[in-house]
Chains A and B, each alone.
Chain A
Amino acid sequence: MLRVVLAEDAVLLRAGLVELLSRVGHEVTAAVGDAAELARAVDADRPDVVITDVRMPPGFRDEGLKAALELRSRHPGLPVVVLSQYVATAYATQLFSGASSAEGGLGYLLKDRVGEVTDFLDALDRVAGGQTVIDPEVVRVLLQQRTADEPLQRLTPREREVLALMAEGLNNQAIAQRLTITEASVVKHSSNIFMKLDLDPAEGNRRVLAVLAHLRREAPQV
């Protein structure tokens, strides 16, 4: 059971999410409609996880995302799931590069994902558990056809698949299952990925770093 604060300005969707979450046994301590209320609710309720929309009143731009980042800096390690209508990687980059620490789970999911109820709940659990989850659709866009992008260019197709699943937040065992390969070869692929992307094993969660390294390169102007 998770204690959730939910921020979503579309009433229909907010009600639906509340229903969904309570039905599977989570407790929604607050369901709010704008970024300021979100901040107040989080400060008061100290939830296990925050779910927020990107676009929120009053400006209907990226208020939700900004509020999430601010909450992360005020409550380090607060797990946040950002729901977005956009596949746009710029938002994901903003989220991951703006988060002051890699501590605490962070998720960027497309709104469509809530329709895949099991996937959505699973992602929510993983973020609450401290993992990083990026929507498969976003990952797919990130990893496809960046022919001119150097470090990723060096990855084999199989290694890219592994990286994509890593970005979704799956562990080695789950990746092995999904790709129907042995866990040992997943380990081998991941160490190749880390090597090719010049990632220092000492730098915390390398899985997240691998994805972040790519995200940051993707949109350096953010």
Chain B
Amino acid sequence: MTVAVWEALRERPLRFALSTWPLRCWAFLLSGTVVGFFALLLLTVLLFVGVGLSVVGVGLLVLMGVAVLGIPVAALERHRLRLVEPEPLLDPHGSLPGTGAWPWLRTRLRERATWRELGYTLALGVVFTATGIGFAALLGLSVLLTATPVIVWAIAPDTVMLVPGRPISDPVAALPGSAAGLLGLFVSAYVGGLLAGAQVWVAQSLLSARDEDLSTRVIELTRSRVRLVDAFEAERRRIERDLHDGAQQQLVALSMTLGLAELELRGQDSPATPLIARARGEARQALDQLRSLVRGIHPQVLTDHGLPAAVSELALRNPIPVTVEMHLPDRLPSAVETTAYFTVTEALTNASKHSGADQVSVVGRLHDDKLVLLITDNGHGGADPAAGAGLQGLADRVAILKGRLVVTSPVGGPTQLRVEVPCSA
């Protein structure tokens, strides 16, 4: 954690007094004193009212109000901090499960950040206010002293005494007072810098988000990514359904009609016969293409029969021989199955295209509620996981499910992909 004021002080100690830093520090300290004073006042009043009324029950609500008082104060303080800190602090509070006062209160009371903020409010109200008043006195006196010649000139012919018993006769005689005042301002610049820095440091320690606050947000982030993946998955299935129920059926119907036409023309020597046969062949090709397209989007056999069956089908269609050995007791969560399936697809494609292998093995097992897939080829190795966009995409998908993808591919082979996906996630 760095404090900007302290950095400025350390780097250019002499320039500091002449920069805008002292003014900003003073503004920060004085405004802090005001905020701290009112916060302390509010805290004390609420505390007394709360304790006093706690017998009636309403007091407990007021006491809860005391507990969360730090939140608005902290929000204000994070803004006020910008006077002397270029970087805004992260709000440590997580998002709410619902709307309304009750979810808000329940969530906030459970957060550690809330209690740190209350602690900060106490420090602000007691320590910062006290030092702030002392500092305000020093600063005020310095300003007053600096201005003595003006004061003397303004209120003459009344006498002004800087030191009791020693009246100052004219503004020129008050110049030593000005000198003392300027010295006081000079000192205030540095004291203010140090004090403001100390307050910033405390604020940074108490008001900023810590790892423990962020971890809940990381979980939320992970959840939202999983939701996104699920949404994509649903969309893939919808597209697959639409193609299956629409275009595929139409093509089948078309080829059937053509078949009927052929049947009608049978025995007749019509020039249309070879044309119809050709049309039927073309319809059939279109169907084949559409079928493999649909399978690439989302294989129905995966939905119906699970991972081992779907991988076996993949293996059958693969241009180089694949042995599949999968012993999975039950169906896995569909997100895990889909991710595993597309990982195997990608791995087999890579092995067939780039590795020069003539044999691939896919082994799948469940280890302590974690699906472990090993895809090994006997090719020449040297695969670079960073280079392949496909592998990167798969690693991302696997990571969303809190799993991992490890690629080992020494030059000379063999290449092995190891996928681990927890099934409980």
Known: A12-B253, A16-B253, A115-B259. Contact between A85 and B244, CB under 8 A? yes
How many Å from the CB of B235 to the closest CB on chain A?
16
A118: min CB distance to chain B, Å: 7
B284–A115 contact, CB under 8 A?
A: yes
- A144 / chain B contacts, CB cutoff of 8 Å: 316
| Contact between chains at A115 and B306 (CB < 8 Å) | no
CB of B323 within 8 Å of the partner chain:
yes
Task: Give Cα A16 to B303, complex, Å.
Answer: 29
How many chain A residues touch B (CB < 8 A): the figure is: 41
- What chain A residues lie within 8 Å of B313 (beta carbons)? 87-90
Q: A16 contacts which chain B residues (CB < 8 A)? A: 253, 256-257
Using Cβ atoms and an 8 Å threshold, which residues of chain A touch B352?
none
- A13, A111, A116: the one within 8 Å of B259 (CB): A116
Asked if B301 lies at the interface with its beta carbon under 8 angstroms from chain A, I say yes
Is residue A62 within 8 Å, beta carbon to beta carbon, of the partner chain?
Answer: yes
Interface membership of chain B positions 257-300, coded 1 if the CB is closer than 8 angstroms to chain A and 0 otherwise: 11110110000000000000000100110011001000100011
Q: Is the CB of B303 within 8 A of A13?
A: no
**Inside 8 A of B148's CB, which chain A residues have their CB?**
none
B308 touches A60 (CB 8 A): no
Knowing A85-B248, A90-B312 touch, does A148 contact B256 (C-beta < 8 A)? no
B284 contacts which chain A residues (CB < 8 A)?
112, 115
A16 to B250, CA, bound (A): 10
- Neighbour of A112 across the interface among B244, B255, B299, CB < 8 A: B255
Return the CB mask of A71-89 against B: 1 if under 8 Å, else 0. Answer: 0000000000000011111
Q: Which of A12, A20, A117, A148 contacts B321, CB < 8 Å?
A: A148
- A-B contact list, 12 entries, CB within 8 Å: A12-B249, A20-B256, A20-B259, A24-B263, A85-B244, A85-B291, A85-B300, A90-B301, A91-B305, A115-B283, A116-B259, A221-B328
Interface, chain A (partner B; CB < 8 A): 9-10, 12-13, 16-17, 19-20, 23-24, 55, 60-62, 85-91, 94, 111-112, 114-118, 120, 141-142, 144-148, 218-219, 221-222
7 more A-B residue pairs beyond the given contacts A13-B249, A16-B253, A222-B309, with a C-beta to C-beta distance below 8 A: A10-B253, A13-B253, A23-B263, A55-B300, A145-B321, A218-B312, A221-B306
